[in-house]
Structures are given as structure tokens and as C-alpha cells.
Structure 1
């Protein structure tokens, strides 16, 4: 495979040529160094030219250092791309490399993404690279990696963005196993607010996943990699130019897999739900031996209950995740504002107000399975419930009725074990009479919560009485 030109390979080639001119290495040695460096790059091994020279005993370590310093002076000091001085490689992807760079005019460090010359001639990659740059410089939000500049200089397409000192959410979850509920909900809430900002510009991200969320050392979450983002007004479907569904398989929404017309923000809600599931449990909602198995699970498998993998999770958190992961976009949160409100409620220890709670479960959790979804794995038998819990489960159904002018009530209905007369109300927790006189959102939410607490308490008392 021919070596892909990058700023680093350009600098290394200049270094090798200088060593050859000085007679410090032979032509055969230079060829061997190039071969080993190319092999290391193909295996994604971060091995420098200097290390190869030393390990092959072509040059002593101190002489390599002297040579680097002398050659840097000879070839014009540090490598530059336009107004940016390359300092260090930070990471590499399929389309290029991200460097730590220094913008001399403004005296600041940035992250500089450089498109591989191998990809310049491929329209799909160049279009995605330029789209990411344009979207990033348009959006200005604390929870989105800020785009600073993009252009073409010294033979490279580049895109400068703010330098985030920290790690990806994926690295954080791998290191910690799973996050606390409070921390996970907080990260998800920050991402919802980033998406709310993007929605103002009719932009859908389409690739929400832990790898694309960067965590600063202070705990701020920043959404990155806008290469798949598109304005919904373009009528963009769910597939890329090659007909492949967009988004990583572990987190992709069912409608993106099916390529069902225009993809909107509800696909981002699903992907964020899969990401939140992983934060809370340490694993994605679906897994499999192949991409096809994972995709089939997203399309038709029951939604796994996160409480089966993390028993200490609140029912409110599980309910929110369940609603985010609904197969049908029409059954998910219909606005980002509703999701924002429910995540904020759970974060503050209150029940979510946009998900109907049924006792200790939620309407959104109805399709939850009782164990992990692994290929060939057997679902564990449900643990036997206590008589009191069984009585409580059959004694009460809580229904949220939204009234006129913002009023509402939780109605608890009894269900008798023998052929009963028509169910009759055991208790009704109406809202405060004054609540229906205004339209204040805080008053409505407080009324709903108070009604829910009162109804659930009376349902439990009814269960004990039996």
C-alpha cells in the first residue's frame, strides 16, 4: 500500500534526505526505515522515525537529537500549514489526522484536522470534511466543539477547532466501567442542550456516540465530529453517498437503518439514548458477533431494561432511557425540550413529567426484556416477587390525564381478583385548584408531581390493606 502523504511524512522525508546528504545513513538504511515506518502506520502503531533509527542502530540517540535540531534549522524550523505550526499528533481517522497546533498570530493552541491527500480526490470524503468545518464554525455553544477556521494551504485541506483538554466519553466509560446515574444524566442533559442549539439551525448530527463526546477536565461535555451533520431542510435521507446507513451500528436509530426518508432530531434522541444506556450500565443496549446482528436488534429486539444491568438505577432514569430507545420515532420524545425537562427532573430527584409512570415501572419500559441480549444467550427467569408486591402490582394502575387549561390529575383504579363490578376510583389526587388558573410551567409540573406522589402513596396503602 502506498504511503499516504501527511505533514509528518513530509517532515520525515526531509529529515531522511538531509541525513543522506550528510552521509549519516546509507540509501539501504533509509529504505529500511521507510519500510518499517509504513508497516507501523498500517498497524496504527505510533512509532516515530527517530525510534526506528535508534532501534536499528543506524544512529545513536544523542546523534538523532542533534540531527533533528540541525535539520530543523536547515529545512525551515517547524512544519507549518498556513498560519498553524504543527506541534503533536493527537489522533488519526479514516480521512486524516488531528494535530495539536499553534496559531502564531493569535498565540493560541488549536486542534488542527488535516484531510489525507489520499482522500482529496474522493468527493465523498472531501464533501464530508468541508461540511463538518462549515457546520462547526456556524454553531457556537459551550457543549459543542467550536470551529475556528478552515481552508487550504501548503497542499492540505485543514480545519482548526478549539483544543479540548480531556478525553472522550468512550475512554471515560471504559476506564470507570459505568458512570454514576447523576454523572450520566448530567452528560446526557448537556448533549440535549447542544442538540437544541443545533436544531435552531435545522441541523441533525446523525452520529451521536460516546466516541464523539469529549469530556473536559472540569466535567463539561462537548459534542464533536460533525462530519455527518446535515440540515434537515436538505431532505437528506438516512444513507451516505454509497447507500450505507449513517451512524455507528451500536447507536444507530432504526429509521436510519431502514433509510426511511428524511432523518430528524428524533434519530439523535435514539442514539443519545443508546449512549446514555452505556453510560449507566457500562455496555451498549445491543451487542452481537456481527454488525448485522446488532442492526437486527435495533430493528426488532425488545428494549433491554438498564436496571437489569445496574439495579441501583432509579425507575425515572430507566423510564427516560426506554422512551428514548423506542423503535418508532413517534413513540420517542417528540421535542428536545420534553427530553430536557425529564432529564432535569431525574437529575434533581423528581419523577419525569413527560413519561407516564405506572407504579414502579413506566409505559416506556413495557417492551423491556429481563436480561442482556446476546446471540444465543438465555434470558434469566424473573425473580419471584413478594405477595405484597404482587398485590401492589395488581391493585393499582396510574393514569395521567391532562386536563384543560393546564390542569391534570392522577387517577388510581382498583382491580379486584374476582369478577368485579366496574372498576371504581380508590383515590384521586387532583391538582391544586389554583393551578388551573394559570399557564405557568413550574406550577403545572409541581401539580403533576404532587398528584403522582399522592396517588402512588394511596395505591400502596390500598395494597397493604388487602
Structure 2
């Protein structure tokens, strides 16, 4: 029995789209066609002709088969390797053949591809990113459907997520964390300029370039876009976000604006400098309730190395009442940049002090000319 037949048929059965009996019947038809000297149809075509599966089912089987065999096909792109998996699908490193450039390709999982709600959310992310052009936002390149596969090609960021860094190393150096958060605050400034709200700011949605030189915001799948259409469920005030980083108003299902993203970025900043999320509990609902009603422990209580200025910035970002937070990303960026200038000035001063100390340790004092014996002053004292 041909390996391709078994593979296609077994996947169809595994996905619950047909039965073993139907698969065997199609294989029998294919063998009969071959015996009669007729070029046989593919198993999928026969199953479609017999009504055992529909077009959506066929696409799902082909996609799953390609995925299992590591040969996802997307027109205009070459898949190089899988680099990540998310709730809704896989992410591949690939090459855009027309420009010979490396890209990241997000592919929607076949189990979600059958539900138009998820397809719309997936394509919405691509359209949202395409409308935003900023160095701290992962750039969109292309999106569509190819060989039954929904895909979204975007800028390839050759570094880890902030989440990965925090899992491996715990609390970050304050200056490094400050640089990352400033980058993302600048991205939010661009978001706000065009009326967007991200609604899911968290470490796993922050990518770092190789060497950690720049941070970029990604995953706009649940972003709130400026134009609200009648009956668009994705724009309704449903509970979206991640419990560890969700704002109080978002947790209540209220209308959200950019101040909600500032709160979530504050949670991320807190996590970066302390190595812990603001609130911890056994279950997600309890964490959400703490965001609503419990005062957060100051970052300095968790990490004494956190400066007073950064401590105060984070606490303002995490104000329960959104009217008490930074009202616009511009305000936050100004506060962060001012803190960054002070950090750099303090670093330079520390370096100068260190160098001066090293020079003293080597005995390199300023040269003073020795007084000659028998100077006029000493001679006067002897008279």
C-alpha cells in the first residue's frame, strides 16, 4: 500500500473527518483505476468526489500532512525551519523569493482555519500591522492564503523575546530594562497617533534584536483598531489580554484606551526589574481580582537595586485609576528618557571615579616640584 495513501487517510481519520471504511473504499477505487490503465486520482480527490470530505476538510488534511512532513508550501516563499508555536499556529523562518530576504511567516493552525472568527482575527493582525510603520513595531510584509494555508509574512527579528530572557535570567539590569521599556513606549506613542490600542502588552510580545539593541512590539491579533464597524465582534468590549499583565478596566470588560496599554507595560517593566509579575496566585481569576483591588508591592521591596525614580515611574504606570497614570505615551517616554539620561550620567560619573581611583592606586599623583635645599626662605630662618 502506497505510503502517501496511508498518510493522507490516517490523517483524515485522526482529524475525525472520515472513517477507516471510507479511506479503504477510496484506496480500492484508486487501485481499480490503475488496473484499468487510467491515471488514478489522488486519495483526497476521490474522497471529495464521494462526499466523504468537503473542501475545508481537504485543505485541513493537506495542511496537516505537509506540517507533519515538514513541507508547508506558500507561494513566493521558501520555508526554512519552524521557530515557534503559539495558541493559533506556527511561526517559520522563511525566505521571500522575489527579494531574497529572510522573513518570519506565521501560519494559522488548521483547526482554527475552519472558524472564520479566527481567520478574521488572523488577517486583522496583518492589516493592523500594515497600517503602522515604526522601528519598534514588527513590520508586515504580506498576508493571504496559499494551498489552503492562511499565512502572514513579517519582518524577521533575529533575537529572543523578553519573556525568554526573563525566564532564563530573572531580574534584568535596570538600565537594560529601561531601554527596552522606552522602545515599547515609543511604539505605543505611534499606536496612539493612529488610534490603536494593543490590548496584550506582555514580555512574550516584545522581541529583541540580536544583541538586545532594540525592542520591537509584535502580535496585534487582539488590537483595537480605530474604525469600529457595526457588528464587528472583535471590537466589542470582550475580555482580552493576559491575566498577569491585564489592566483593571480591561479586566472589567470596559472600554479601553492607550492608558490600558500603559498599565500593561508597567506590569512588564515591574517583571523586568524584579524578576516577578506584580501579582501571583494559584489561578488566573485570582490574579485578575488582585489587579482590580489589591495594591501592588513597590518594585524596590522586591529588588533593592531598583532606583527610586524607576520605582515611582512603575507605580504611576500601575495606578488602579487610569486618570492617575501617565495619560499619553509621550508623557511616559519623556519620564523614561529623563531617567535614562540620569542613569547614563551616573554611569559616566562612576567610570570617572573608578578611573581616578585606579590612577591613585598606581601611585600616579599630580607631580609637585620638590623644594630645593637652601631656598631663600629657609636661609632667612637660619639668620
Please, what TM-score do these two structures have when normalized by structure 1?
A: 0.57
Partner of 1:92: 85
Q: Which of the residues 209, 218, 224 maps onto 2:211?
A: 218
Quote the Cα distance in structure 2 between the aligned partners of 1:103 and 1:18.
Answer: 34
Q: Write out the 4+ residue segments of structure 1 that deviate beyond 6 Å after TM superposition.
A: none
2:73–2:146 CA contact under 8 A, matched in 1: no
Residue 246 of structure 1 pairs with residue 248 of structure 2: no
Aligned-residue offset at 1:241: 7.9
Residue 191 of structure 1 pairs with residue 184 of structure 2: yes
**What does the per-residue CA deviation read over 1:352-384, in whole Å, with 9 as the maximum and x for residues that have no partner?**
xxxxxxxxxxxxxxxxxxxxxxxxxxxxxxxxx
Partner of 2:163: 170
Residue 271 of structure 1 pairs with residue 261 of structure 2: no
Stretches of structure 1 that go unaligned for 5 or more consecutive residues are 1-16, 22-26, 39-76, 351-466
Partner of 2:110: 117
Q: Which of the residues 248, 252, 255 maps onto 2:249?
A: 255
The structure in which a higher percent of residues are helix is: 2
1:87–1:102 CA contact under 8 A, matched in 2: yes
Quote the Cα distance in structure 2 between the aligned partners of 1:245 and 1:258.
Answer: 8
The structure in which a higher percent of residues are strand is: 1
SS of residue paired to 1:98: strand
Quote the Cα distance in structure 1 between the aligned partners of 2:165 and 2:305.
Answer: 20
Return closer, same or farther for 1:235/1:258 CA change in 2, 3 Å cut-off.
farther
Aligned-residue offset at 1:80: 2.4
Q: Over aligned residue pairs, what C-alpha RMSD do you find?
A: 2.7
Quote the Cα distance in structure 2 between the aligned partners of 1:226 and 1:242.
Answer: 16
Count of paired positions: 286
- Point out which structure has higher relative CO (alpha carbons under 8 A, 6+ apart): 2
Please, what TM-score do these two structures have when normalized by structure 2?
A: 0.69
Return closer, same or farther for 1:181/1:161 CA change in 2, 3 Å cut-off.
same
- Which structure has the bigger radius of gyration? 2
**What does the per-residue CA deviation read over 1:263-285, in whole Å, with 9 as the maximum and x for residues that have no partner?**
10000000000000000000110
2:128–2:225 CA contact under 8 A, matched in 1: no
Stretches of structure 2 that go unaligned for 5 or more consecutive residues are 16-69, 344-383
**Equivalences for 1:324-343 in 2 at 5 Å?**
324-343=317-336
Partner of 1:149: 142
SS of residue paired to 1:349: helix
